[in-house]
Amino acid sequence: MSKKTVIVLIMVFTLPMFGIHGNHFVENASAADACSGDIEPILWNQTVGRSALVPHYNYYSGYFGFGEYYDEDDRKGRDHEKDWILEPPREKTELNPEEEWMYVAWDRNSRLDTLTSNHHSTMLVGNDSIGALRVNLSAQHRTTVCVTVEALNETNDDYSVDVYLMTSSEYQRYTELYYSSHSENSFYNDLSEALSDISPEWRSLDFTGWRSYRDAHQYESVNQINFALNLDGPESYTPIFGDEMWQDFYIVIDTWDNNHDNDASAPGVVTAADVTIITTERSFILPNYTVAIIFLMMIIGMVIFPFILNARYMRAGLDANDGATGPGLVPSLEVDAELTDHSLEQPLDAKDYPEIGGNDTGD
């Protein structure tokens, strides 16, 4: 492999590690710079959506069970006419300031505009509740999310919440767990608690669990967090049967004790969460297929390299070295043998040996 090929491969593998912006390498901005920008007013349900989950409202207000057991009139058994059991509603408290439309009639199916502007919002999240902002992130922009929370009531010094970033499908599983944990029929939640300590490589097989986006954007037991996100492309997929489905993103402020082992407990206060979303246009974006091409080149190189090495080895004894007088590094039978010319050698002096035979003796 030549030096030029090595240099080209090194550049191919190291160039994606740097972001290029106006012929200058982009350095990591400080937290203050990342959370500042020209803030524009929010067009609710057009650029940003607002939703909530509260303990006094359960979407699954009933569950399938069995009626009371009876033993009268020579009949024994259960009243199957009352298999569907309705739970009594919980009372709303002063620690739940969310408006009714946020958790009853909030819009989850409408298509939001792609987020290309900067926004700021303050959410009031009640105790044992969830506050979420729904956005449609752009793959052409780098999105930075800055969250700062503060307790509106007196609390201890260990006050903290959990912050998550999820797609629509991930948030759907998350809400099902929340509803189950706040229901009398908590079988689903109990099973999820038992599997909460499952190792990361097996989480995809946990049908009761939920994950944050890329299984990485979960920030638990914090009161301030800044994180950035670059999308490879629009979050959408097309099932075998059906139309294309788009995935929105949910910025979740969690103030309830979910099934994660290291999450924050319910703080017992109302939380004011300041959420700032800053978008920055990306000037240099590698196409998605470059990753596949790089790995394909690596695999092809690993397959071809043994053949190249073997060919060079087999040819080593056949190549004539210019200016070299000695034999090559690897001898070969196909090279003519070197014969010695004995005519140039000086003859050896003859040795005087005694004659062997009978000697004449006189009588």
**Measuring CA to CA, which residue among 42, 268, 250, 260 is closest to residue 158?**
268
Q: What is the mean pLDDT of residues 41-51?
A: 93
pLDDT, position 24: 38
| 211 Cβ neighbours under 8 A, 6+ residues apart | 166, 170, 203
- 3-state DSSP call for residue 160? coil
Global pTM reads 0.68
pLDDT tens-digit readout, 3-45: 677 677 667 666 655 544 444 333 444 445 678 889 999 999 8
- As a whole number, mean pLDDT of residues 122-142 equals 94
Task: For helices 3-14 and 289-315, give the axis angle rounded to 10 degrees.
Answer: 160
* pLDDT score at 239: 73
State yes or no: pLDDT of 263 exceeds 80.
Answer: yes
Half-sphere exposure of 9 (CA within 13 A, CB side): 12
**Mean pLDDT computed over 310-327:** 66
AA identity, residue 53: L
How large is the C-alpha radius of gyration of the chain? 39
Who has greater pLDDT, 80 or 214?
A: 214
Question: Which of 165-169, 175-179, 236-240, 328-332 bottoms out in mean pLDDT, i.e. has the lowest?
Answer: 328-332
Look at residue 360 in the predicted model and tell me its pLDDT: 55
CA-closest candidate to residue 63, choices 44, 82, 37, 42? 82
- For helices 187-194 and 168-181, the axis angle rounded to 10 degrees is 110
Please identify which residue in the block is written with the tokens 């994180």. 227
**Mean pLDDT estimate for the chain:** 77
More confident residue, 228 or 188: 228
pLDDT of residue 147: 96
Find all residues with CB under 8 Å of 86, minimum gap 6, and list them. 61, 62
Residue located via tokens 């910025």:
251
Q: Which domains does the chain have, with CATH numbers?
A: 33-59+95-281 (2.60.120.380)
Q: How many CA atoms lie within 13 A of 241 on its CB side?
A: 0
Q: Which pLDDT does position 69 carry in this prediction?
A: 45
- Quick one: 73 exposed, middle or buried, by C-beta within 10 A (0-12, 13-18, 19+)? exposed
